Structure 1
Amino acid sequence: MNSTTELNQSVMTFCLLDVGYSQIFNTCLLEVAVILFLTVLIISGNLVVIFVFHCAPLLSHHTTSSFIQTMAYADLLVGVSCLIPSLSLLHHMEGLDERLTCTIFGYMVCVLKSVSMASLACVSVDRYVAITRPLSYTALVTPCRLRACIVLIWIYSALIFLPSFLDWGKPGYHGDVVKWCSTSWNTKPVFTAFIVAALYAPAALTVCFTYAHIFRICRQHTRQISERRARFGPQETEPGEPACPDKRYATVLFRITSVFYLLWLPYIIYFLLESARIYSHPAASFLTTWLAISNSFCNCLIYSLSNSAFRKGLKRLCLLCLQRSDTAKNTVRFKHPS
């Protein structure tokens, strides 16, 4: 009897933030509210992105749309996987093996976020090639190579975090709402250094290198155009002069990438500090983790607000839904006249 009471108390008092605990509902209200709110935003936002890409042919003009769609599908799966910690906090997973559940869930979310990070790096490389080699771009970036690159992203992401099943350590904090993850599964410096060296650092350096060169080249083209117009006048310029038509699109993708790393930077810093045994706190783990996961919604939000073709596609999708709704209402009225 005493052991059962102690077990129930240990389950009831396990709240990472230790705020908003409800004795009535026997759950951590604040954690559940945060996770469910993000789950709804991530799933709904990425579903809209996926539907718009399928309904707007203009968005398929850029090869980067394949990477953006890959990122949207990965972020959608992140949103779906957020239901697992919600069910755990609501005590609907008490019959499952905590260690196995925690390991699988942590691995799955880390792989999905790795796909997003690698996709953003590939997007920056794609725009870099498009601007630095515009004449040979179509020969270099073929549909076959594009599909192969997406497959390699998924394979590489799956392999990076595979050592987490071999007792190398915790790959991330996404499963800390399961008690075993928080109390018994620790990070290890070697595995953390391996993840940073194999994923975080190469992706960040690639993005910094490519976008720095993209905007430098665009500034040079803009300066050349301004000098020609000042020298010959606007009527003397030729339509084929070196402009930078991809600058606006690159700017949108740069915003997405910047927000991605801004939201993930606290998570990565805490990951390094905790692995080095410098600082560790459950609340910091929870906050940095779900701040990083919120990026799965921010991606689609920034893209929808910044890209004109996407806004047109979204408007077209809304009009299509309204037309179908009106058609359905008229059909019902015709079958059942008043």
Structure 2
Amino acid sequence: MNSSSDVNQSSSSPPFCLLGAAGYSHRLDTCVVEVVVILFLTVLIIAGNLVVIFVFHCAPLLHHHTTSHFIQTMAYADLLVGVSCLVPSLSLLHYLRGLNEEFTCKAFGYMVSVLKSVSMASLACISVDRYIAITRPLSYATLVTPCRLRACIVLVWVYSALIFLPSFFGWGKPGYHGDIFRWCADSWKTRPAFSSFIVALLYAPAALIVCFTYGSIFRICRQHTKEITQRHARFSSPTEGERGERAEGCPDKRYAMVLFRITSVFYVLWMPYILYFLLESAGLYQHKVASFLTTWLAISNSFCNCLIYSLSNSVFRKGLGRLFSPLFPSCLGCTDAKKAPVPVSPRSDARCQLRGATPVFVDPTVRRVGVLLLLGAWRGARADACRPLQRPVLREKSKLGSRRTEDEKFDADEQSGL
């Protein structure tokens, strides 16, 4: 009897929304605003990640890049996050009436938390992959193998599924605050022990790994760029030295901007959610509007990932251009015409191909930084090795010149004698 009355009561009551429960002005229907925001983010997340997945399947070269495996995993997780965002929209649009609120809240909160965890862990794996590629470029192919990549991806999914599993056994809310029923907001509370457990084992390690790896990459790039500039100034003329400083200052700034965008977007979107999660579980601060804003700000990271990590890959941009070339042939022709006049000197292409060796494909940004580091070491070794050999070469040339003059004199004497 109680269950049937609860179902009838839930079917007759209006749908629950966090902004409407906050008690703001009735002139504006806050539930409609909530539906519009959720649907807008849902469309962006699904469309952006579908394009990423489609380009990966249509561009076979992208499968050879190690970073692309993590980007693809992150794209699938973010796509599922976008699909799961349809559930709150359906709830607000009166399509989820008659369901068991407790089971639906727990199942939906667990699913979204696992998908967000996979996306966040993939960001940390991408940063570690780039850090290894730059700090150990020669042993990168032996350290990062396809078998280890697959094992790492499986471990990310299993770890994310296990870490939120205690939410089904009464440990508390796993961290998702986009409540779809009133039971989720009023009866399902966060607990300090479970919140600290999630932050200590997931959010804090991922944030520290991203900060450490990208900070170290930027520091290494600046250090080696400074060394190359000093060697240019030592072994070249003043005009060439100024030219080298200008040419090498641009990549330094470009890498700095890329790393700044990656870290700033990550922390801006995730830190408010983590802080509110800790404050609410400790009982220090609780507000339904703050809960809604921080949750959907963190979920919007699923759309920003496909922009930052995919469009920053030059091979992905080429695959995207080829994919949309039938739709926009004139724009593609303009870009090709702009890129055509740029000459490529044969001296700048310093690649060594070994017979019988399998080609190793690395992310273009990582490859550029690795080439920059190796080029600086090669220039310094070449300058140090060639400098002592200049005088012996001149001596050999002077000896050859004196021998030629003696032979010419001997031939002239023979001709005069004849």
1:281 correspondence with 2:287 = yes
Offset, 1:145: 0.3
**CA separation of 1:306/1:138 partners in 2, compared to 1, >3 Å: closer, same or farther?**
closer
Offset, 1:303: 3.5
CA distance in 2, matches of 1:252, 1:68: 16
**CA separation of 1:61/1:258 partners in 2, compared to 1, >3 Å: closer, same or farther?**
farther
> 28-37 or 258-267, which moves further after superposition?
258-267
8 Å contact kept, 2:48–2:306: yes
User: How far does the alpha carbon of each residue in 1:59-98 deviate from its partner, in whole angstroms, 9 at most, with x for none?
Assistant: 4453111101111110000000011111111121112111
1:41 correspondence with 2:19 = no
1:215 correspondence with 2:221 = no
Q: Give the equivalent residue in structure 2 for 1:317.
A: 323
TM-score of the two chains, using structure 1 as the length reference: 0.84
TM-score of the two chains, using structure 2 as the length reference: 0.68
Compute the RMSD of aligned alpha carbons. Answer: 3.1
1:160 correspondence with 2:163 = yes
Pairing of 1:190-269 with structure 2 (within 5 A): 190-233=193-236, 252=258, 255-269=261-275
Offset, 1:55: 2.5
Offset, 1:191: 0.1
CA distance in 1, matches of 2:318, 2:257: 18
Q: Secondary structure at the match of 2:196?
A: helix
CA distance in 2, matches of 1:319, 1:130: 32
Q: Give the equivalent residue in structure 2 for 1:291.
A: 297
1:178 correspondence with 2:178 = no
Offset, 1:15: 2.8
CA distance in 2, matches of 1:303, 1:122: 12
Offset, 1:52: 1.7
Count of aligned pairs between the two proteins: 314
**CA separation of 1:229/1:32 partners in 2, compared to 1, >3 Å: closer, same or farther?**
same
User: How far does the alpha carbon of each residue in 1:84-130 deviate from its partner, in whole angstroms, 9 at most, with x for none?
Assistant: 11111112111211111110110011101111111111111111111
Larger radius of gyration: 2
Q: Name the amino acid aligned to 1:12.
A: P
Q: Name the amino acid aligned to 2:192.
A: P
Q: Secondary structure at the match of 2:19?
A: coil
Pairing of 1:13-162 with structure 2 (within 5 A): 14-18=16-20, 28-162=31-165
CA distance in 2, matches of 1:185, 1:168: 10
User: How far does the alpha carbon of each residue in 1:279-324 deviate from its partner, in whole angstroms, 9 at most, with x for none?
Assistant: 111111111111111111111123455343332221111015679x
Gaps of 5+ in 2: 242-250, 330-418
Gaps of 5+ in 1: 237-244, 324-338
8 Å contact kept, 1:304–1:310: yes
Offset, 1:181: 0.5
Q: Name the amino acid aligned to 1:316.
A: R
